Structure 1
Amino acid sequence: MKASLDDIYLFMLTVRHGGISAAAKAHSMQRSKISRRIQELEQALGCQLLIRTTRQIELTENGRLFYQYINQPLNDVTQAVSLLENQQHAFSGRLKIAIPAAVVASPVFLDLLDSYSAQFPDVTLDIVHRHESVDLKRENIDLQLLPNVVDVINDDYVQQTLLSSSNRLYCSPKYLESSSLPTTMEELYQHPILSSRYTSALLPDGMNLRLVSEDFGLIKLLTETGRGIALLPIVLFKEQVERGELIPVMHDIFELDIVMTLVYPSRHFIPEKTRAMIELLRNNFSNRYKFS
Structure 2
Amino acid sequence: MNILQSIRSFVSTVNAGSIAGGAKLLGVSAAAVSQNIARLEHHLGVRLLHRTTRSLALTERGALYFEQVRQLERDLERARQLVAGPQHAPAGRLRVASTAAFARHVLAPMLPALRQRYPQLEIELLCTDRAVQHAQESVDVSLRIEAQLEDGLVARCIAQVPMVICAAPDYLAQRGMPQGADDLKYHDCLLLRYPVDGRCLPWNFMRNGVRFQPELGKAMVSDDIDALATMAAAGAGIARLAAYVVQPYLQRGELQPLFVSDPGSTTQALPEPLRIYLCVADRRDFTPKVRAFMAHLLERLPPEWRLAEPDALPTSAPVSVEVGQPDMASDGQAGVDGALTSWARVT
> Shorter-chain TM-score: what band?
0.5 to 0.7
Identity over aligned pairs, percent: 20
Cα gap change, 1:172 to 1:84, in 2 (>3 Å): closer
Partner of 1:234: 243
CA-CA distance at 1:93 after TM superposition: 2.8
Tell me which of 216, 219, 222 is aligned to 1:210: 219
Contact 1:164 1:287 in 2 (8 A): yes
Give the structure 2 partner of residue 92 of structure 1.
Answer: 91
SS of structure 1 residue aligned to 2:253: coil
**Contact 1:200/1:212 (<8 A) preserved:** no
TM-score (norm 2): 0.55
Q: Which residue of 2 aligns with 1:102?
A: 101
Aligned to 1:201: 202
Are residue 264 (structure 1) and residue 280 (structure 2) matched? yes
CA contact (8 A) 1:169 1:255 kept: yes
When the two structures are aligned, how many residues end up with a matched partner? 225
Compare relative contact order (CA 8 Å, sep 6+) and give the higher one, 1 or 2: 1
> How is 1:119-268 mapped onto 2 (pairs within 5 angstroms)?
119-152=117-150, 155-197=151-193, 200-203=201-204, 204-252=213-261, 253-268=269-284
Residues of 1 paired with 2:64 and 2:202: CA distance? 34
CA distance in 2, matches of 1:135, 1:17: 30
Query: Does structure 1 retain, via aligned residues, the 8 Å contact 2:182–2:214?
Result: no
| In structure 2, C-alpha distance between the alignment counterparts of 1:210 and 1:287, rounded to whole Å | 33
Structure 1 unaligned blocks of 5 or more? 1-11, 19-52, 67-80
Shift of 1:100: 1.4
Shift of 1:276: 2.0
* Bigger radius of gyration among the two: 1
Amino acid at match of 1:209: K
CA RMSD across the alignment: 3.6
Provide, for residues 119-156 of structure 1, a one-character-per-residue CA deviation record: whole Å limited to 9, x for no partner: 2122122111121221111011111000112232xx22
1:60 alignment partner AA: R
Q: Is the 8 A contact 2:101 2:226 kept in 1?
A: no
Q: 3-state SS of the aligned residue for 1:237?
A: helix
Q: Is the 8 A contact 2:166 2:257 kept in 1?
A: yes
Alignment CA distance shift 1:93-1:58 (3 Å) = same
Relative to structure 1, the CA distance from residue 176 to residue 282 in structure 2 (aligned partners, 3 Å threshold; closer, same or farther) is closer
Higher deviation after alignment, 172-181 or 111-120: 111-120
Distance in 2, matches of 1:212 and 1:281, equals 31
Instruction: Tell me how far 1:17 sits from its aligned partner.
Output: 8.9
